[in-house]
Amino acid sequence: MIDTHAHIYSKQFDGDRAAMLARTFAAGVEKILMPNVDSESVAGMMELAAQYPAQCFPMMGLHPCSVDANFEKELQMAEDWLSKYPFIAIGEMGLDLYWDKTYFEQQKESFRIQATWAKTHGLPLVVHCREAMPETLALLETLADERLFGVLHCFTGTAEEAARLYDMNFRVGIGGVITYKKGDLAAVVAHIPLEQIVLETDSPYLAPVPYRGKRNETSYLPLIAEKVASAKQMSLTEIASATTKNAIRLFFERKPTIVGQTTQQATS
Ligand SMILES: [Zn+2]
């Protein structure tokens, strides 16, 4: 399995990172994709990428919660990094209206700039969206073209919203929220095409049940896969294999179109 979104460089793992990663690999999670946050997260992330070159892959981007009056300076730093290292994706970036709405215009500008990077570098875009689904979809629809593709991480929307993302070559990242009763993401996932789904933990946040409220870690990814399997009425093996293929196609082969999507789009 591949954990497509985990902040394993977080201070919360400083006490047991090596042991935690050993547990993760033993649990069948072979690769971990690390989203950047801002200039302060880069050093720890790059250190892990150097330590585990076959397992831990860094992204480059600016998180919407780190967008403030200084965002252009932060973007300059990210762009400098992009020119000197082969990152796996642009991210995480996006819109967040949960914490602070002060810099919403700057968040949108930062979104547009990073989407352009994704297009020019041929990389997937890893989108964060909190309390901002209508705004994110509207913005993505102004940017969508055959060069833009990616994933909306920690997806908690409706089946209709997933379908709009699908039309724009965006996968959905399913995480621990699927194990929570509130919102019933499992019922929504039942209606999302399997080809569109990738798995993630978003460690150290959003731990799946029975660890909800505690520190999340990448070794819990099978708990999320199990819940997707029951939502899809498929076996854990089938889900693990299909979502791994989806993640490889998206991040390692960088094929914008989702499998099974071409014919559907051609006939629509
Ligand atoms: Zn994240």
**pLDDT tens string 132-144:** 999 999 999 999 9
Give the residue carrying structure tokens 């890893």. Answer: 126
Give the Cα separation of 199 and 174 in Å (integer): 5
Residue 160's CB: how many other CB atoms inside 10 A? 11
Q: Residue 142: give the domain boundaries.
A: 2-267
Question: Based on the structure, what is the number of domains in the chain?
Answer: 1
Q: CA 243, CA 3: separation in Å to the nearest integer?
A: 10
Which residues fall within 8 angstroms of residue 108, CB to CB, at 6 or more apart? 95, 135, 139
Measured in Å, residue 261 CA sits from the centre of ligand 1 at: 27
Tell me how far the alpha carbon of residue 225 lies from the centroid of ligand 1, in angstroms: 18
Report the CATH number that the domain containing residue 170 is assigned in CATH: 3.20.20.140
Q: How far is the CA of 120 from the centre of ligand 1 (A)?
A: 23
Separation of CA 142 and ligand 1 centre (Å): 24
Distance 207 CA to ligand 1 centre (A): 13
Share of the chain above pLDDT 90, in %: 94
Q: How far apart are CA 120 and CA 123, in angstroms?
A: 8
If you average pLDDT over residues 151-156, what whole number do you get?
A: 98
User: Measured in angstroms, how far is the CA atom of residue 267 from the centroid of ligand 1?
Assistant: 36
The pLDDT tens digits of the residues spanning 105-117 come to 999 999 999 999 9
The model's pLDDT over 190-202, given as tens digits with 9 standing for 90+, comes to 999 999 999 999 9
CA 267 to chain centre: 29
pLDDT attached to residue 262: 61
How do residues 202-231 score in pLDDT, each as one tens digit?
999 999 999 999 999 999 999 999 999 999
Mean per-residue pLDDT of the chain: 96
| Cβ proximity of 30 and 1 under 8 Å | yes
